């Protein structure tokens, strides 16, 4: 495995923006202590064995035994620069008291040894000066603790938090992890989380730390520790490492104008396109969502038609008995005299000569009056009409049957 990550420039001391690259990967086809892992120590009564031989199952099993104060430590030979993402598949045969498992990123010195600081002793991290760690302890299979330390400052440990389960699926010897655990470490934050294995679901965010962060100028190794505490555990546990992966996680922010002294992240940010599809906007009363060519009063958006053939009389009638829009008309005068279509804002048949006329439409002798109003003319109560022989608003002179025929369009 490489000791110089491919996306880091040692000349300029900075990450090179580029494609995501794997810095380290082990699926435990073998347990290679010549090229991949350093077995720092094997705890008394503990044993390491490879397991899994079918259906994609493969893992390194560390059997804890029952010896008190016993600890096994292994760490990668390769080292990495931050920012990076450590992900690992881990399962345990049981969760009981007096046993602890740590998977962590720890800084190293120029000789490759883990840096330590004892000014503020760190029992959880074996005094590692810079670390980001997930600790599995206690009897609850879905719980874990995150621990962080930077620059030798005292360690910052969370309480027991809900991650996802360490219980395995499968049957002996072909076990599979139920969870992918993750540590995302960069210059501004460390995020601890978990995702269900082989699932489309997103990450379960367990915790984020933005204080006491590890030193980003250092190189880091992955370290795994399994230990029994001072009280001997009740029985032996198999701790299974199904895979360990480290990838570059170069952070590219959009707040490139911060030097300009703007007052908010929004003001500093560059435009970013939204990759996810936007939800459909609702039509109806939400005008911004009504983007189609429709008349808004009807549920289907189309116009309704009132067909008229005049009878002997004033032809007073209701076109629509509720609020709506007059969209247009096409009326033919079959006589040699003028006829007048009068429109009213009412939801009952009008009384010609008494009910207030809103519109008077003159239909020439032997001709057609044809009109469409884009968007319609609004009527707050209803739409009704009458057809008369006189133009005055007070006129109520009836006409003969068949004098006027045509259609009124409304919504």
* Domains, the chain: 8-251 (2.60.120.200), 304-410 (2.60.120)
Dihedral angle sign, alpha carbons of residues 351, 357, 361, 362: positive
* Mean pLDDT to the nearest integer, 141-156: 98
pLDDT of residue 284 exceeding 70: no
Percentage above 70 pLDDT, the chain:
83
206 falls in which pLDDT band (50, 70, 90)? confident
Rounded CA separation 57/240 (Å): 11
State the average pLDDT for the chain. 90
Rounded CA separation 39/33 (Å): 7
Nearest to 163 by CA among 184, 134, 198: 134
User: In Å, how far from its chain's centre is CA 31?
Assistant: 38
Lowest mean pLDDT among 104-108, 116-120, 204-208: 204-208
Rg of the chain in Å (alpha carbons): 40
C-alpha dist (Å) from residue 323 to 97, 226, 298, 344, 410 = 74, 77, 11, 12, 10
Task: Determine the pLDDT at residue 318.
Answer: 98
What does the angle CA 250 – CA 19 – CA 76 come to, to the nearest 5 degrees?
65
* Mean pLDDT to the nearest integer, 256-275: 59
Task: Determine the pLDDT at residue 6.
Answer: 46
pLDDT in tens, 63-93: 999 999 999 999 999 999 999 999 999 999 9
pLDDT of residue 17 exceeding 60: no
Task: Determine the pLDDT at residue 322.
Answer: 98
pTM over 0.85: no
Containing 171, the helix (H) or strand (E) segment is strand 168-171
pLDDT in tens, 346-391: 999 999 999 999 999 999 999 999 999 988 999 999 999 999 999 9
C-alpha dist (Å) from residue 52 to 83, 179, 224 = 33, 17, 20
Helix (H, G, I), strand (E, B) or coil at 267: helix
pLDDT of residue 4 exceeding 50: no
Task: Determine the pLDDT at residue 270.
Answer: 65
212 falls in which pLDDT band (50, 70, 90)? very high
pLDDT in tens, 33-69: 999 999 999 999 999 999 999 999 999 999 999 999 9
The beta-strand segments (E) located in 282-357 are 304-309, 317-320, 324-333, 339-344
Task: Determine the pLDDT at residue 258.
Answer: 46
pLDDT of residue 168 exceeding 80: yes
2 falls in which pLDDT band (50, 70, 90)? very low
pLDDT of residue 393 exceeding 80: yes
Lowest mean pLDDT among 16-25, 210-219, 349-358, 376-385: 16-25
Task: Determine the pLDDT at residue 16.
Answer: 52
pLDDT in tens, 238-256: 999 999 999 988 655 555 5
Q: Quick check: bond before 98 cis, omega within 30?
A: no
pLDDT of residue 263 exceeding 70: no
């Amino acid at each position: 495995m490489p000791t110089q990550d491919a996306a880091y420039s040692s000349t300029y001391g900075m990450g090179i923006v580029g494609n995501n690259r794997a810095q380290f990967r082990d699926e435990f086809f073998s347990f290679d202590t010549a090229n991949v892992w350093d077995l720092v120590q094997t705890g008394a009564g503990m044993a390491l064995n490879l397991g899994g031989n079918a259906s994609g199952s493969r893992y390194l099993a560390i059997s804890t035994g029952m010896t008190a104060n016993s600890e096994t430590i292994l760490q990668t030979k390769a080292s990495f620069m931050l920012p990076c993402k450590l992900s690992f598949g881990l399962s345990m045969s049981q969760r009981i008291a007096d046993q602890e498992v740590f998977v962590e990123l720890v800084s190293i010195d120029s000789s490759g040894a883990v840096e330590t600081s004892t000014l503020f002793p760190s029992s959880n991290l074996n005094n590692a000066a810079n670390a980001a760690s997930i600790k599995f302890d206690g009897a609850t299979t879905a719980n874990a603790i995150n621990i962080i330390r930077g620059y030798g400052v005292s360690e910052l440990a969370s309480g027991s938090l809900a991650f996802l389960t360490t219980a395995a699926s499968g049957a002996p010897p072909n076990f599979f992890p139920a969870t992918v655990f993750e540590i995302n470490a960069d210059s501004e934050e460390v995020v601890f989380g978990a995702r269900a294995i082989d699932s489309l679901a997103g990450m379960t965010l367990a915790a984020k730390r933005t204080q006491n962060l590890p030193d980003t100028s250092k190189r880091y190794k992955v370290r795994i520790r399994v230990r029994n505490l001072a009280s001997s555990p009740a029985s032996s546990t198999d701790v299974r490492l199904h895979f360990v992966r480290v990838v570059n996680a170069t952070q590219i922010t959009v707040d490139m104008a911060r030097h300009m002294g703007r007052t908010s992240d929004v003001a500093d940010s560059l435009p970013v396109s939204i990759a996810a599809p936007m939800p459909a906007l609702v039509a109806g009363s939400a005008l911004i969502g009504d983007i189609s060519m429709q008349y808004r009063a009807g549920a289907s958006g189309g116009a309704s038609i009132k067909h008229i053939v005049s009878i002997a009389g004033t032809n007073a009638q209701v076109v629509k008995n509720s609020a709506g829009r007059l969209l247009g008309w096409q009326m033919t005068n079959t006589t040699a005299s003028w006829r007048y279509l009068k429109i009213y804002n009412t939801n009952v048949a009008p009384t010609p000569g008494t009910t207030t006329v809103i519109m008077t439409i003159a239909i020439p002798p032997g001709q057609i009056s044809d009109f469409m109003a884009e968007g319609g003319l609004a009527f707050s109560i209803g739409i009704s009409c009458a057809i008369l022989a006189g133009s005055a608003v007070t006129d109520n002179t009836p006409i003969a049957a068949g004098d006027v025929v045509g259609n009124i369009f409304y919504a």
